[in-house]
Amino acid sequence: MKKSITTLILAVVDSLLLIVIVVSYLLSMISGLKEKESVSSSHNTKRKTSVTTNDTSDSVYEDTSPIVTSEQNAAFYNTFETPDINDFSWVTSEILNGVFPLEAEDVDLENSLGGWKCCILDHESDTEWFGNMELIGTADNLCLRLDWYCVRTGGEEGEVSADESPDSIFFGSVNEDGAIEVIGPGRILITDCYRIGNHQYASGFYFWEDGVSSNIFFVRP
């Protein structure tokens, strides 16, 4: 009888041990699955973040230099540096036809005041005039001064200095169409003034005293 009870107890103990082993095995498998899931989730999250970061960096591809605030614009862009033909490489057939880049941002009169590089272009005579322009005043009372630098006909070989020429002074205002219109030795009409990145551009027309009109362009700094 005692032997029978002992045998029964041993059988129960063996069964319990087997149950413990099975449960431990199952728990280890569950733990392994969770860890794998966690690693996979972490990997996917990092990959998505990387893709998002790359997309953002790709979208910033133009001028990464800081854009100044509107209160600083006039002082920031102001220039009296001698102009060069390369300063006006942005003048394309589209610009001549009044088609401007999509990223162009309009600039108001207050932020258009100060010094600019200037180029007057006459296609019929193949002549270019270069100089510096300064604009001062208010919308109702403007003064524009042109300090001539050189005149170029038929390319660089035809360049003649205009340093000794007297400055040309114009007076006027912002007209009802919003353009800057000034009169002096002829008439200047500035119809467009805009910013792209950290440069300002302006364009319009120069009406000479003899009635001939030419394109006029400004850029700064």
> How does pLDDT run across 83-129, given as a tens digit for each residue?
988 999 999 889 888 899 899 999 999 999 999 999 999 988 889 99
2 CB contacts (<8 Å, ≥6 apart)? none
The dotted CATH code for 70-220 is 2.40.128.120
Q: What is the pLDDT of residue 78?
A: 80
Residue-wise pLDDT for 3-61, tens only, equals 455 555 555 545 554 454 545 544 544 444 444 344 333 333 332 323 223 333 332 22
Q: What is the mean pLDDT of the chain?
A: 76
Residues 198, 98 contacting (CB under 8 angstroms): no
Q: What is the pLDDT of residue 6?
A: 53
Residues 67, 60 contacting (CB under 8 angstroms): no
Q: Can you tell me the mean pLDDT for 64-75?
A: 50
Tally: H helices and E strands in the chain: 3, 10
Q: What is the pLDDT of residue 56?
A: 32
**Most confident segment among 39-48, 67-76, 147-156, 162-171:** 162-171
Place of tokens 């966690």: 38
E-state strands within 75-178:
105-106, 114-122, 127-138, 141-153, 159-161, 168-174
Per DSSP, what are the bridge partners of residue 213? 207
Q: Can you tell me the mean pLDDT for 157-163?
A: 86
